[in-house]
Amino acid sequence: MGRIRIITDTASDITRQQAKEMGIEMVPISILFGTDEMPMETEEDFQNFFERLYSEKSLPSTSQPSPELYVSQYEEAREKDEDVLVLTLSGGLSGTVNAARLAQDVSGYDRVTVVDTRQAIITQRMLVERAVKRRDEGRSVEEIAQEIIEVRDRMVVCGVLDTLTCLRKGGRIPPGLDVVGNALRLKPVIELKDSVLVPLGVARGMKKGRDFLYREFEAAPIDTDWPIYTGYTYDREEGEAFRQTVMERYNLSECQMYPVGGVIGTHVGKNCVALAFVRKA
């Protein structure tokens, strides 16, 4: 059995160093303020992005990777006699999966398997980590892809937004409403569901917003074969406090925390906290 090349994109918020340690390849989703592209390769890049996000009047634009980036990866895999597994950002949020599939047709390399994870950020990361684990155990691409497909719709990632500003900049709420909402400490709660971001509700204050996340977690049995992760944007201290609360509330011995970068951060803004887990089948 030949080696497997695992490819994902920067919506997973896996840093360049982490990708190197995992033995995977990263394809960038471009984030542009005008013509100025913001890299998303390090946690420092994430922080710089959020600082700029609030100094600009408009949201940045994001664009899916060009098929040529995937073609380059596939051609290199062909030269090294590797199978390829591509795990993309949710097709409901981006056309990244289409670029990966188009590149497969262009390259003509038939040892490429493209899977729409239907996820992003920390749940996309979970799937990539599981794929790496299975690859290192000697599983085939087909076996790994099947496991990903079977679990992806049971994954949950939900978060509390600290501000309405990005929703206003993105045209999702009327101008001026963010000023009123922020003054009233209204905190939108969202979930990635059926491949798209959907609202769960609006809370008065972060504490009540986090209660939404706890209710989601408690609503169904948890698949303990998968980890429980928390995430945050920009404010690591707030993220760590949330992680500690989750661990204590649910008597967890382990709960990893990861920062969220600009691909999804564009829409949720600074100081968001998120909870990710997998429901039992």
Protein fold of 154-278: Hypothetical Protein Tm841; Chain: A;domain 3 (3.30.1180)
> Do the Cβ atoms of 184 and 155 come closer than 8 Å?
no
Portions of the chain given CATH number 3.30.1180.10:
154-278
Q: Which residues contact 242 (CB under 8 A, 6 or more apart)?
A: 210, 230, 232, 273
Portions of the chain given CATH number 3.40.50.10170:
4-152
Distance CA 241, CA 70 (A): 39
Class of domain 4-152 (CATH, top level): alpha beta
- pLDDT tens digits for the chain (281 residues)? 469 999 999 999 999 999 999 999 999 999 999 999 999 999 999 999 999 998 988 889 999 999 999 999 999 999 999 999 999 999 999 999 999 999 999 999 999 999 999 999 999 999 999 999 999 999 999 999 999 999 999 999 999 998 767 766 765 544 544 444 566 577 888 899 888 888 888 889 999 999 999 999 999 899 999 999 999 999 999 999 999 999 999 999 999 999 999 999 998 899 999 999 999 99
State pTM to two decimals: 0.94
